[in-house]
Amino acid sequence: MPTVASFEVSYLQYLDENSQAVNDLPDFAKDTNLLTGLYKDMLFARTLDYRAMSLQRMGKMGTYPGTLGQEAVGVGSGSCLGDDDVLVPYYRGSNTMIQHGVKPHELLLYWGGDERGSDFKNPRVRQDFPIAVPIATQCLHAAGVATAMKARGQTGRAVLTEIGEGGTSEGEFYEALNVAGVWNLPLVCVINNNQWAISVPAEMQTACETFAQKGIAAGIESLQVDGNDVIAVKDAVGRAMEKARSGGGPTLIEAICYRLCDHTTADDASRYDDPEAREEAWAKEPLKRLGDYLVNLGAVTKKQLEEFEVEAKEAVEKEVEIYFDTILNNPQPVGAMFDYLYAELPEKTKAQREEVIARDLRAREGG
Amino acid sequence: MPTVTLIEAVTMAMDHEMSVDEDVVVLGEDVGRNGGVFRATDGLQEKHGEDRVIDTPLAEAMIAGLSVGMAAQGMKPIAELQFMGFMFPAFNQIVTGAARLRNRTRGRLSVPLVVRMPYGGGIHAPEHHSESTEALFAHIPGLKVVTPSSPARAYGLLLAAIRDPDPVIFLEPKRIYRMVKQEIEDDGEAYPLETCFIDREGDDVTLVSWGATMHETLLAADELADEGISCEVIDIATIAPLDMPTIFDSVEKTGRVVIVQEAAKTGGVGSEIAAEISEHRLMSLIAPIGRVAGYDAIMPLAKMERHYMPQVVRITDEVKKVMDYS
Ligand SMILES: Cc1ncc(C[n+]2csc(CCOP(=O)(O)OP(=O)(O)O)c2C)c(N)n1
Ligand SMILES: [Mg+2]
């Protein structure tokens, strides 16, 4: 029988587990200042994460999905976003969002239970979507944004979306890839393969050897990258975005890492996680990977890495201050629950708006 | 007799039925090894095995659609959807598949399926984790919709739902998952579906509710009793099909009704109850029917959700309004 089609999935890595360069580095990675910047951004991500967790434990933050061990995926892909690109993130996309220009305190507001956290103030991200909690819905929104760009003949723009490996089992994920393939949409989808969908391990989601190959079935260029190697992530996503911007169509990128934290603060991974696998994963984690590389190269010193930590803590604290100042000194008025339902509130609903405001007033006066 | 919370009663009912009926299986996201994100299936996989407590890939349409096929073969799947807010991919399969198969095949195939899901607000959960959209299910002919308000009812009603020959949507009010404990005999005794429960007898006004807001409704009845207003309190428990005769009898006695629901007011289950009463017992009413409901707004995030939920004061205010009529 003749073979009518055959496929390959490639794996991209620049820095191996021992921080040794295993391939010729892409041009951007020869700029050690740029790499140091990526390191600092990943460090900020981790610092923000730990702080959000501690706020949650103190009852000052809602359920929070951490990104520990996944910093390179978010920072690496987010760093490829340009002014005219649109990001359609998922709930674990904090770092991608921050890279594009969402303010960290906006994320704290959102997870702290204040809708204003999704009203991104930075002009650069005004068209970005808010965090998608219903899994895989974001992939279709992203395909829609890409459809609009294509329909208007806007080259030079592209859409980035992201999803967990578990989420790729949802129909809407396949539907998005399919349409992106048929219509050659300017769309890049990054799969954060952190090995777990809450308690369900990746191998229970698919019989495929890779999640990347799901894109092949949609006729999309698809590849795997080392998700602990920020250079590999940035290189793959950067090239895919450039291809999309110039009319070359969609790409699916599976970034392999490990969720080193609980699923969220509401989860206890010790119920199902494999301590050995977790320990192995710690040896591969992205900050150490890049930090050691930069130190070995002589681009930074160990002492400098420590100073970066202090800087990151200070930067995070500033964001936390804005968060507290907003929720304590400038809480949303209760009527706000009605103010954004429609462009104009229906007559019928106005009475309810008045009721909730009056009740709030009465409750305050009463107590 | 074990003393259990509502969620433990849910586990107990599934465990009981899996022990006596090998056709019963549990499937869903994180239900196996993890025992469910709320622990509703805690220990079930250890006891009944991986073939009967199944961790599925992450896809709700798949969970519901598979369940329809399994049920058509005579299995009795209990599908868990992790939160009501994530049932929408499954909704297509529930409405076009589960609810209609018996009718489409003139009874040749049927779907003895239970779809469980936690619902409701008040636990400071993230976006999409707090809604109450029971009316969407109640609107679909072919589905039964049940929600317990106590551990004993969770146990008895879930057993009935599993044994029911038709698809039952079993809604679990997660705010009261661990609020109270009750002694329950694990004797496999089911409660009847399609029957309201009269939780308190009274003469002046009938309060009708279900699920988590039964808690506020009973608190309101306590407060009102102190003021000399005697409330009859009904937990409808089975939202569809509704046991209207029990409500009618009460309305004949009191002549006043206040319906309490957490869901948005417009098009809610309360609207249906009010319509039934005005169709069939208008002449028994001495006051307009009152409704206390969630506002017609999108469920706010945690910081503002308490303003959305029907608090006790809203119920007592509404009751006083209907008490002005005599
Ligand atoms: C449609 C839908 N179903 C279920 C959930 C509940 N849920 C939240 S996260 C999660 C696991 C997701 O795993 P994965 O896609 O691998 O992403 P990760 O959280 O690991 O980043 C589940 C089941 C949801 N948010 N949306
Ligand atoms: Mg995952």
What CATH number should be reported for the domain holding residue B216? Answer: 3.40.50.920
Of the candidates B117, B125, B210, the one whose C-alpha atom is nearest the C-alpha of residue B171 is B117
Which residue lies with its CA nearest to atom 11 of ligand 1? Answer: A197
Question: Residue A291 domain-assigned?
Answer: yes
Q: Domain check: are A302 and A342 in the same one?
A: no
My answer on whether A227 and A260 are in the same domain is: yes
**Is there a domain that residue A287 lies in?**
yes
Quick check: B263 pLDDT over 60? Answer: yes
Residue type, A25: L
If asked whether residues A208 and A128 sit together in one domain, one would say yes
Same domain, yes or no: B46 and B154: yes
Apex A154 CA angle, A148 and A157, nearest 5 = 90
Instruction: Kindly give, in sequence order, each residue whose CB lies less than 8 Å from that of residue B119, ignoring residues fewer than 6 positions away.
Output: B83, B84, B131, B132, B133, B134, B147, B171, B172, B173, B174, B211
The whole-angstrom separation of Cα A158 and Cα A242 is 8
Distance, in Å, from the CA atom of A238 to the CA atom of A102, rounded to the nearest integer, reads 19
User: Do B174 and B56 sit in the same domain of this protein?
Assistant: yes
Rounded CA gap, B7 and B116, in Å?
12
A208 shares its domain with A113:
yes
The CATH number of the domain holding residue B35 is 3.40.50.970
A361 and A213 both lie in a single domain: no
Statement to judge: residues B69 and B133 lie in one domain: yes
Give me the mean pLDDT over the B135-140 stretch: 98
Nearest to A192 by CA among A276, A87, A280, A73: A73
Residues B169 and B207 in one domain: no
Mean pLDDT of B318-326: 97
pLDDT of residue A366: 81
Per-residue pLDDT for chain A (367 aa), expressed as one digit of tens each?
A: 999 999 999 999 999 999 999 999 999 999 999 999 999 999 999 999 999 999 999 999 999 999 999 999 999 999 999 999 999 999 999 999 999 999 999 999 999 999 999 999 999 999 999 999 999 999 999 999 999 999 999 999 999 999 999 999 999 999 999 999 999 999 999 999 999 999 999 999 999 999 999 999 999 999 999 999 999 999 999 999 999 999 999 999 999 999 999 999 999 999 999 999 999 999 999 999 999 999 999 999 999 999 999 999 999 999 999 999 999 999 999 999 999 999 999 999 999 999 999 999 999 998 5
Q: Which residues face A197 on adjacent strands?
A: A200
CB spacing of A166 vs B57 below 8 angstroms = yes
Number of domains in chain A: 2
Pair A349, A259 in one domain: no
CA dist., res. B57 & res. A206, Å (int): 8
| In-domain check, residue B189 | no
Instruction: Say whether both B142 and B44 belong to one domain.
Output: yes
Residue-level length of chain B? 326
Burial A186-220 (b: 16+ CB within 10 A, else e): bbbbbbbbbbbbbbbbbebbbeeebbbbbbbebeb
User: Does B12 share its domain with B106?
Assistant: yes
Domain contains A113: yes
CB B28 within 8 A of CB B34: no
With CA atoms as reference, the chain B residue closest to A266 would be B37
Task: Give domain status of residue B175, yes or no.
Answer: yes
Domain endpoint, select from B155, B183, B211:
B183
Tell me the pLDDT tens digit for each residue of B152-177.
999 999 999 999 999 999 999 999 99
Q: Tell me what pLDDT residue B38 has.
A: 97
Chain B positions touching chain A (beta carbons under 8 Å) = 29-30, 32-35, 37, 55, 57-62, 85-86, 88-89, 124-129, 265, 295-298, 300-305, 307-308, 313-314
Q: Report helix angle A302-324 to A32-57, nearest 10.
A: 50
The domain in which residue B31 lies consists of 3-183
Q: Are residues A233 and A98 in the same domain?
A: yes
Q: Is B120 left (phi over 0), alpha (psi -120 to 50) or beta?
A: left
Instruction: Determine the structural domain holding residue A281 and report its residue range.
Output: 11-329
Quote the pLDDT of residue B141: 98
Separation of alpha carbons A346 and A333, rounded Å:
19
Same domain (yes/no): A128, A33: yes
Of B154, B183, B212, the last residue of a domain is B183
B162 plus B13 within the same structural domain: yes
Enter the DSSP assignment of B115.
E
Q: Which atom of ligand 1 is nearest to the CA of B88?
A: 1
- Nearest by CB to residue B30, choosing from A131, A198, A205, is A198
In a domain, residue A280? The reply is yes
The CATH number covering residue A195 comes to 3.40.50.970
The neighbouring-strand residues paired with B24 are B76
Atom of ligand 1 nearest to the CA of A133: 25
Shared-domain flag, residues A239 and A356: no
If you search the block for the tokens 């009704």, which residue do you land on?
A: B257
How many separate domains does chain B show?
2
Listed in order, strand segments (DSSP E) in chain B are 3-5, 24-28, 53-55, 76-80, 114-119, 144-146, 168-173, 181-183, 197-200, 205-209, 231-235, 238-240, 257-264, 290-294
- Is B69 among the domain residues? yes
- Is pTM beyond 0.95? Reply is yes
DSSP state of B268: -
**What are the chain B neighbours of A265 within 8 Å (beta carbons)?**
none
- Domain stops at, among B183, B208, B230: B183
Tell me how far apart the alpha carbons of residues B43 and A227 are, in angstroms, rounded to a whole number.
35
Do A200 and A220 reside in the same domain of the chain?
yes
Residue type, B260: V
Closest Cα partner for B271 from B250, B254, B294, B287? B294
Q: Domain for residue B201, yes or no?
A: yes
The 3-class secondary structure across chain A, one letter per residue, is: CCCCCCCCCEEECCECCCCCECCCCCHHHHCHHHHHHHHHHHHHHHHHHHHHHHHHHCCCCCCCCCCCCCHHHHHHHHCCCCCCCEEECECCCHHHHHHHCCCHHHHHHHHCCCHHHHCCCCHHHCCCCCCECCCCHHHHHHHHHHHHHHHCCCCCCCEEEEEECHHHHCHHHHHHHHHHHHCCCCEEEEEEECCEECCEEHHHCCCCCCCCHHHHCCCCEEEEEECCCHHHHHHHHHHHHHHHHCCCCCEEEEEECCCCCCCCCCCCHHHCCCHHHHHHHHHCCHHHHHHHHHHHHCCCCHHHHHHHHHHHHHHHHHHHHHHHHHHHHCCCCCCHHHHCCCCCCCHHHHHHHHHHHHHHHHHHHHC
Mean per-residue pLDDT over chain B, rounded = 98
Q: Is B162 helix (H, G, I), strand (E, B) or coil?
A: helix
The answer to whether position B191 is within a domain reads no
Answer whether residue B118 shows pLDDT above 60: yes
- CB atoms near residue B119 (< 10 Å): 26
Report how far Cα B289 is from the mean position of its chain's Cα atoms.
22
β-partners of residue A255 are A192, A225
| Contact status, residue A296 vs residue A19, Cβ threshold 8 Å | yes
Mutate to test the interface with B, among A111, A274, A352 (most CBs of B within 10 A): A352
Q: Are residues B159 and B299 in the same domain?
A: no
- Same domain (yes/no): B160, B27: yes
Residue B179 lies in a domain: yes
Residue A294 lies in a domain: yes
Q: Which two tokens stand for residue B184?
A: 């329950």
- Asked whether A169 and B59 are in contact (CB, 8 A), the reply is yes
pLDDT of residue A367: 55
Alpha-carbon distance A85 to A124, whole Å? 9
Asked if residues A49 and A67 have their Cβ atoms less than 8 Å apart, the reply is: yes
Q: What is the pairing mode between strands B290-294 and B257-264?
A: parallel
Q: Confirm whether A5 is domain-assigned.
A: no
Residues B87, B128 within the same domain = yes
Q: Please report, as a single letter, which amino acid is at residue A24.
A: D
Q: Residue B164 has what pLDDT?
A: 98
DSSP B194: S
The answer on A356 and A323 residing in a single domain is: no
Residue-wise pLDDT tens digits, B51-63: 999 999 999 999 9
Residue B188 lies in a domain: no
Q: Does B15 share its domain with B164?
A: yes
DSSP one-letter code for B164: S
Rounded to 5°, the CA angle A111-A116-A119 comes to 110
ipTM of this complex: 0.96
Portion 318-357 of A in contact with B at CB < 8 A: 327, 331-332, 334, 336-338, 341, 348-349, 352, 355-356
The amino acid sitting at A308 is F
Pairing of strands B238-240, B168-173: unpaired
B205 and B179 assigned to the same domain: no
The helix or strand, by DSSP H or E, that contains position B17, with its residue range, turns out to be helix B6-20
**Could you give the CA distance from residue A125 to residue B60 in angstroms, rounded to a whole number?**
31
Residue A4 belongs to some domain of the structure: no
Task: Summarize pLDDT for B68-111 with one digit per residue, the tens.
Answer: 999 999 999 999 999 999 999 999 999 999 999 999 999 999 99
Instruction: Determine whether the interchain pair B295/A204 forms a contact, defined as Cβ–Cβ distance below 8 Å.
Output: no
Residue of B27, B127, B131, B133 to mutate when probing chain A, most A C-beta within 10 A:
B127
Residue A62 and residue A181 in one domain: yes
pLDDT digits (tens, 9 = 90+) for A296-320: 999 999 999 999 999 999 999 999 9
